[in-house]
Structure 1
Amino acid sequence: MSKKYLFFFCILLSLHLDAQIARDSVLKIGYAGSKPFVMADDQAKGIAPDIWKEIAFNAGLNYKFKPYASISEGIVAVQSGELNALIGPITINSERATNVSFSQPFFDTEMGILAPIMEQSLWDRIEPLFSLNFLIAVLSFMLLLTFVGLMFWLVEGRKYPEDYGHKPSKGIGSGIWLALVTMTTVGYGDMAPKTTAGRVVIGSWMIISLIMATSFIAGIATTLSLTGQSEKTITQLGQLEGKKVAVPNYKKMLENFKAVGGIPITVDHVEDGYTLLVEGKVDALVYDIVPLTYLINTEPNPDFKLSKRNINPQHYGFVFPLNSELRHTVNLELLRLKESSEIDQIITGYVQ
């Protein structure tokens, strides 16, 4: 009986020692990414390091930070066994998940568009009046006016040539003039229908022209009003056709930009994209809304406008080697931090 107790005691002691060794061992934690998730210094500051510090404190983990120039380099280090984990704004996707494992998301985000503010010129405001659709509408109206003038001449002009003229061209022209005068309700009194058929035609035209003129003028006013309110500044995905855009190196995002005719230029950090934008080498910068907001808050620039758009929503998590036992501990602590709203408080501390 004593041998059985001794056997179980040895097993429990072994498990305790293994757990203690695992807890006392120093974990190698890499970090990479853009501000404010990771600050570019050796102090390991930012949203991701602060979240990890809370996790490590609650779980009793010993660790040592190591910075990496890019997330891709850090992931390679995790794959090779150089790191126990990589933290930062790391997008969870299927391509990466084939080689490494992820924690549950600690942050869900969406993209923003940062672009120079473009003021409208006079031509930009009146350009819709020279569009193909507008010209077709004007041409259609002129054809209808000619048809009504022809009808006036057919029912009135041949009976009263002294009013409409003896030639068809002059008669139809007089009919068009009567149609215009009637439509605009000017009523010069120089011409008026004398036959019953003429009164029917002009009465019908009064009703039709009233509706048409009102709709036509309202359409012009609406077009000019919307043109005046709109701006040339790039604020949505559809405006990126033929434009050079600095974007993170995400496969799905690159495919989306190519689909709308954009010319994506990949950058590793939001600061790199911002430099290209300031230097005029790209027309817009599309990046995670949090780093963009942080950038605009720390380096205000009245020449740029930030637009929040639901483009490729991203889920950020921490990276671990495949079959990592550490991942379960981190996931458990992440859940607790989410439930206590501590993650939200950390993020708010960097981005108001």
Structure 2
Amino acid sequence: MRKAWALLALLGWLCGLAPAIAQVSLPADLTQRELVIGTRVAPPFSMKNAEGAWEGISIDLWRHLAERLGVRYRFEERDTVQALLDAVTTGQVDAAAAALTVTAARRQVMDFTQPFFATGLGVAVGRGGATAWLPVLRTFLSFGFLQGVLTLLGIALLVGTLIWLFERKHHEAYGGPPLRGFIAGAWWSAVAMTQAGAAQDGPRTLPGRILAVIWMVASVVTIAVFIAGITSALTTQRLQGVVRNVGDLRSIRVGAVSGSSTVDFLNAQTVGFESYGLPAQGLRALKAGRIDAFVYDRPLLAWTIQQDFPELEVLPITLDSQNYAIALPQDHPMRVALDVTLLDTLRSEWWTRTRLRYLGNDAAN
């Protein structure tokens, strides 16, 4: 009986201790003043509703964290990513909540909380149009396609040569000078292979006829396989789009947002690009045909295109990998408390519902 009471007492003590462990206190100066939280328009992570109030995944997350930590705050908007980062590094704001990617360069001049969203870079292109045919052209100019054509041509010439050797003494069409006979054999082989019409001047010798039958049957299969391969390649290319990997970006005109993590990635991959101040500016340039592709954070890109640019589409590829987090000035006293509260929040049903509300089926990350 005593053991049972002792066990119950221990459980009660642990239950009472758990909230104390989860609760991290903030310095008094942070709870007594109004914090300044920088943000910028980056839907669906931070945006303004019809009434002009801020909302979005990052905004709702910050509100949830601030409520749990018991701090007062106000939002201050910045126009660009660089302006928001500058506000953090210079201490103009206590934190920045938007769609900020954690990078090595940024980490040298500011702090970040634990990441709350994992994503990557997306590539936007025109839906159809001339650019969409670049993959098809690339297929016809590829080494694999050329190799297939030359192989098929080589087999046809080999069969034509054998027909000429078999028939040159028994068929006047293949007699005379060697070049004339060779051309006649190659022509008959090509006509028989492509089934372009009834092959004239067919072989008369037994070896020639046996070879002709084998070649006509084999050519049907060969042509069918060749056409199927080309069709599959073209279909795959069209589905994948003008860009399949980062190497394809080097051969087209690319756009990116200046000051974003996309710029760092493109520079590291030696990809040339045109800079734009805002995503919408780059997407308008893409729509107008001044660039062939626009690279930006995938969820932001998909949201903007869905809302305002139905003529564009995001390709089914993801370049690089990115983590979004809340940015803080270096050595900010709120960092530990934010991390503990954030890690607890990311395991909650509230966070699941929040992501589903803004991202729907794309909420998983």
TM-score normalised according to structure 2 size:
0.73
TM-aligned CA distance change 1:107 to 1:209, over 3 Å = same
What residue in structure 2 maps to residue 281 of structure 1? 290
| RMSD value, Cα | 3.9
Q: Tell me the distance in 2 between the aligned counterparts of 1:18 and 1:299.
A: 42
**Aligned 8 A contact 1:110 1:311 in 2:** yes
Identify the range of structure 1 (237-246 vs 206-215) with the bigger mean alpha-carbon deviation. Answer: 206-215
Q: Residue 245 in 1 paired to residue 257 in 2?
A: no
Q: Tell me the distance in 2 between the aligned counterparts of 1:224 and 1:340.
A: 49
**Aligned 8 A contact 2:46 2:58 in 1:** yes
SS at match of 1:339: coil
User: When the two structures are aligned, how many residues end up with a matched partner?
Assistant: 325
Q: Residue 227 in 1 paired to residue 234 in 2?
A: yes
In structure 2, give the amino acid aligned to 1:279.
Answer: A
**Aligned 8 A contact 1:120 1:231 in 2:** no
Out of 316, 330, 336, the residue aligned to residue 338 of structure 2 is 330
Structure 1: give runs of 5+ residues left out of the alignment.
Answer: 1-16, 194-198
TM-aligned CA distance change 1:40 to 1:135, over 3 Å = same
In structure 2, give the amino acid aligned to 1:77.
Answer: A
The sequence identity of aligned pairs, in percent, is 21
What residue in structure 1 maps to residue 347 of structure 2? 339
Q: Residue 211 in 1 paired to residue 211 in 2?
A: no
Q: For residues 232-266 of structure 1, what are the alpha-carbon distances to aligned partners after superposition, in whole Å with 9 as ceiling and x for unaligned?
A: 95353354343222223468744654687753123
Q: Tell me the distance in 1 between the aligned counterparts of 2:282 and 2:99.
A: 16
Q: Residue 267 in 1 paired to residue 276 in 2?
A: yes
Out of 108, 115, 120, the residue aligned to residue 105 of structure 1 is 115
Shift in Å at residue 96 of structure 1?
A: 0.7
Structure 2: give runs of 5+ residues left out of the alignment.
Answer: 1-24, 361-365
TM-score normalised according to structure 1 size:
0.75
Out of 204, 217, 239, the residue aligned to residue 192 of structure 1 is 204
In structure 2, give the amino acid aligned to 1:321.
Answer: P
Shift in Å at residue 167 of structure 1?
A: 5.4
What residue in structure 2 maps to residue 291 of structure 1? 300
SS at match of 2:163: helix
**Aligned 8 A contact 2:38 2:78 in 1:** yes
Q: Tell me the distance in 1 between the aligned counterparts of 2:88 and 2:324.
A: 17
TM-aligned CA distance change 1:349 to 1:74, over 3 Å = same
TM-aligned CA distance change 1:297 to 1:170, over 3 Å = closer
Q: Tell me the distance in 1 between the aligned counterparts of 2:280 and 2:173.
A: 78
1:1-352 → structure 2 map (5 Å cutoff): 19-39=27-47, 43-119=53-129, 132-133=146-147, 135-153=149-167, 157-158=168-169, 160=170, 165=175, 168=178, 191-193=203-205, 199=206, 203=210, 206-207=213-214, 210-224=217-231, 226-227=233-234, 230-231=237-238, 233-237=241-245, 238-249=247-258, 253-254=262-263, 257=266, 262-299=271-308, 301=310, 303-352=311-360
Shift in Å at residue 218 of structure 1?
A: 1.9
Shift in Å at residue 53 of structure 1?
A: 0.5
**Aligned 8 A contact 2:26 2:337 in 1:** no
Q: For residues 75-96 of structure 1, what are the alpha-carbon distances to aligned partners after superposition, in whole Å with 9 as ceiling and x for unaligned?
A: 2222222222122111101111
